[in-house]
Amino acid sequence: MIFRLGELFCGPGGLAFGATHADIGNGDAIVHAWANDYDFDTCQTYTRNICPHSPESVICCDVRKLNIEQLAPIDALAFGFPCNDFSVVGEQKGFNGTYGPLYSYGVKVLKSHRPLWFLAENVGGLKSANDGNAFQKILQDLNECGYQIYPHLYKFEQYGVPQARHRIIIVGIRNDMDVTFLPPSPAPYQEIDNTCATALEIPPIPADAPNHELTRQSPQVVERLEHIQPGENAFTANLPEHLQLHVEGAKISQIYKRLDPRKPAYTVTGSGGGGTHIYHYREPRALTNRERARLQTFPDDFIFCGSKESVRKQIGMAVPQRGAKIIFEAILKSFAGIPYESVPCNVDE
């Protein structure tokens, strides 16, 4: 079976790349139908790498202005919804309004297009937002659209991804489908060498690779990094007085933190100022965007569009395509009736 995929908040294409490269050996596949994001550079990146022959299928606009009813039919929906401002207040006044919580636009697509399944993604902290009320409200709304839901906290470093990245992913199967989904087990991926050194060095990144420009480092930053050992940060390293950071309150562990080559990287984010770029384990410098993309498991021929700062943000907000591919393949196997090694959902509904 061929599943036509629609996406909201599509980002640069981590979910889409994983979906369209999912292969379970029986001819079943997921194909791009349409996608939406509000950021121009992000949409350019997505179009270039996912659907270069149908640029019109990527709709670049605020989701609140998207004409959902006019979107083409789909069999599946993916959305990595923003949820940082969600709160449950009274009767959810404005819940269906223009400025309601953005996940509700995924709910609108589920109600109007009735895809066979969906995949929703968010940060691991979603479970505790608003004392857990936000997460329960989201699960309830998705369930009431007519779907059996399977929420699970994935630790992508357990699936061969060279980065510690924890995300809640909710898979939903339409209630009238005789299909049960379970999260794929990480067991088959335990022997994969997912250290950041392997990701960055094998094979070597060509000097002229796209998105591989070095960040200009000040002499003081270079000197500071030379005193920080792999795995240390600006607060755990033994720094001379003139290189120490005098910060009151919380001391964020990722400030000027150098990677440990023997371990997966720490979480790649879209930030870059104030010592948050992610720093090389051997050289006293920040990683390039291409190196950050390697940690997010994007192939070197996946080219990001926009300024260096824009590309950094795109890479940081993406889903590692290798982890996404594993989950999409589990969905395909569930629909095809092909057994696979699974684990119970670890997030209570």
Task: Give which of 88, 92, 66 is closest to 79, Cα–Cα.
Answer: 66
103 close to 138: Cβ distance less than 8 angstroms: yes
User: Which letter, b or e, does each residue of 158-177 get, where b requires 16 or more Cβ atoms within 10 Å of its Cβ?
Assistant: bbbbbbbbebbbbbbbbeee
319 close to 11: Cβ distance less than 8 angstroms: yes
Q: In angstroms, rounded to a whole number, what is the distance separating the alpha carbons of residues 33 and 71?
A: 9
**Residue 9 carries which DSSP code?**
S
Q: Please confirm, yes or no, whether 83 is among the known catalytic residues.
A: yes
- What residues contact residue 269 under an 8 Å CB cut-off, 6+ apart? 276, 316
Q: Among 10, 43, 51, 83, which one carries the catalytic annotation?
A: 83
CB atoms < 10 A from the CB of 98, how many? 8
**Residue 161 carries which DSSP code?**
-
Q: Angle between the 308-317 and 40-50 helix axes, to the nearest 10 degrees?
A: 70
**Residue 188 carries which DSSP code?**
G
Q: In angstroms, rounded to a whole number, what is the distance separating the alpha carbons of residues 47 and 9?
A: 14
Q: In angstroms, rounded to a whole number, what is the distance separating the alpha carbons of residues 196 and 107?
A: 37
Residue type (1 letter), 17: F
Task: Give which of 40, 41, 37 is closest to 305, Cα–Cα.
Answer: 41
Active site residues: 83
